[in-house]
Amino acid sequence: EDKVVQSPLSLVVHEGDTVTLNCSYEVTNFRSLLWYKQEKKAPTFLFMLTSSGIEKKSGRLSSILDKKELFSILNITATQTGDSAIYLCAVSAGNMLTFGGGTRLMVKP
């Protein structure tokens, strides 16, 4: 059975801090790993990673995949209160997405 595990479950930081969110996976027929941010409603797409060692960046967010060790990290630098959300990691295998349990991030002013 495909499995995606995220850590930590929750995190509280102050504005300006840097955070690292972790995602490990065990899936067959791996195609890609995705990060989503979910606030009150739908998950919004952040990154899709398919190759090991290539960092993807978008503003203060960056992510990298290690296909040998089967994990990915999502970094957020200079956090802001607007970064408060649940961050979901999902792995695309075959024709389905398997989601991790999410990391709930709270950024305090």
Partner 1 sequence: DTEVTQTPKHLVMGMTNKKSLKCEQHMGHRAMYWYKQKAKKPPELMFVYSYEKLSINESVPSRFSPECPNSSLLNLHLHALQPEDSALYLCASSQDVLRRAGEQFFGPGTRLTVL
Task: Give contact residues for partner 1 (rule: CB under 8 A).
Answer: 31-34, 36, 41-45, 48, 88, 90, 92, 94-97, 99-102, 104
Contact 18, 65 (CB under 8 A): no
Phi and psi at 2, nearest 5°, equal -65, 140
**Structural contact between residues 62 and 55, judged by C-beta atoms closer than 8 angstroms:** yes
Tokens encoding 34? 């995705």
From the CB of 49, what's the least distance to partner 1, in Å?
Answer: 9
Nearer to partner 1, 15 or 45 (CB): 45
User: Of the two residues 31 and 75, which places its CB atom closer to partner 1 in the complex?
Assistant: 31
Burial of 108 (0-12, 13-18, 19+ CB in 10 A): exposed
Give the residue with the Cβ less far from partner 1, 17 or 70.
70
Closest approach, Cβ 2 to partner 1, in A, equals: 11
